[in-house]
Structure 1
Amino acid sequence: MGLSFFWLSLCIPHEHSSAVAASFDAAVATSPVSPTARQVLDRWREAPGSLSPEAIPDPAHPGSWTYPEGTKEFEELFRPEALSAFGQRFIKTGAEANGWGIQLGADNGSLLITDRIPAAAALYFGLGAEQAARLPGHFGALFVAPSDVGGLLPALDAVLEHPSPEMLARARRWLNGGNNTRVRPEALFSFIPSALRKALARKEGVLLLTAKG
């Protein structure tokens, strides 16, 4: 096993919504998209085949393997340090936990654990550049206020509800970069809508983040 990533969703009660939103916005503000990553995204939109998760022979080092240009920059979009540190506060306990007393449980959240590969990166690659650009938030990180959950859900369902076989196959390609055979690509596409539905039922907000294990 390599480094694990936790893609977590968590319902946020009304009384903590503003404070959590402010902390989330601060973390996003310190996680800008680098010029190099922006170039990767622009090239991916123009030429979908320009981005690939599969290792290739390294021409500079015979007998070794490397990843195509842009793969590293793409993945780093989904695991910025500030947002990862913020996310860890919701999966840890004691002094390292968040100050709002919000604990992750089956009734108020969900957790998708992947090896080496941030789950949101596999989802975006599966969607393709055009569809992925329609997702709100910051590359798999998202905060939605309680009053906005119901309005956002139909728009996200339109993007994620019926992934094509080609989308699922692309998502599986990215998942294959780690020990993720037990993770179904369908789970990636349903993760955000399921989080919103849970928050809507509880009349609460929702937070989604990727945290390093």
Structure 2
Amino acid sequence: MLVFYHKGVNILIKSLGNAIRKFKVYLWWLYSSKLEDPFIHNLAKEVARIIGIKPFKNIRVSSRFYIANAAVIGFRCRTLVLTNLLLNILGAEELKAVLLHEYAHCKFKHQIKLLVVSFALMLVIALTAIFITQTIESELTALSIGIPFLILGYLLVVLITRLITKRFEIEADCLVASKLENPNLYIELLKKIKNINGEIRGWRTLLSPHPSTDIRIAYVIKCAEDFSRYRE
């Protein structure tokens, strides 16, 4: 029994350690420092002028994790964080495409829209839970119904917001396709990032904020074709 107990504890500790490591990777942008490269700062200003938006005030780099990623931080879109690995694998035109994608999130105000939708959904769920539990006289029964309802409500909010962020990614990709002279460059970039980061599969795709690479590429091709017809 003691042997099984120790094995169980070891498995639990290992699982907890893996969960903590995955959570840290999810928050990769927190482990960043100021980027001093003048070329990237100038390129960011150039790209901002292309789509008519304020350039990022701060550009930071994260070197802690082996991932290729970029993210805009804050609702005012003043800070961009890039991973060191991403910078190492990109050429100038590819970096321009990444900057276009991140600026697109700002131009379309995706962060603010997501905040408003998330708050509205949580408010509706909270008010519904309060209404349901207030009609129940037994406090124990109210708790046994209210707590599971809130948990299910939270999961529903997560699923809905993930669907929304997937749509936002496609919108940003379409803007990139409309601005690049060669959209195939962006398609190859998406494939390159997929080869490095891998791709989530199965039920976990429901919790991913990004569509699959194949779906993104299909939309990039469609948007590029639509835009080329518009220019003609």
TM-score, length of structure 2 as denominator length:
0.31
Query: Relative CO higher for 1 or 2, CA cutoff 8 Å, sep ≥ 6?
Result: 1
Higher helix share: 2
Higher strand share: 1
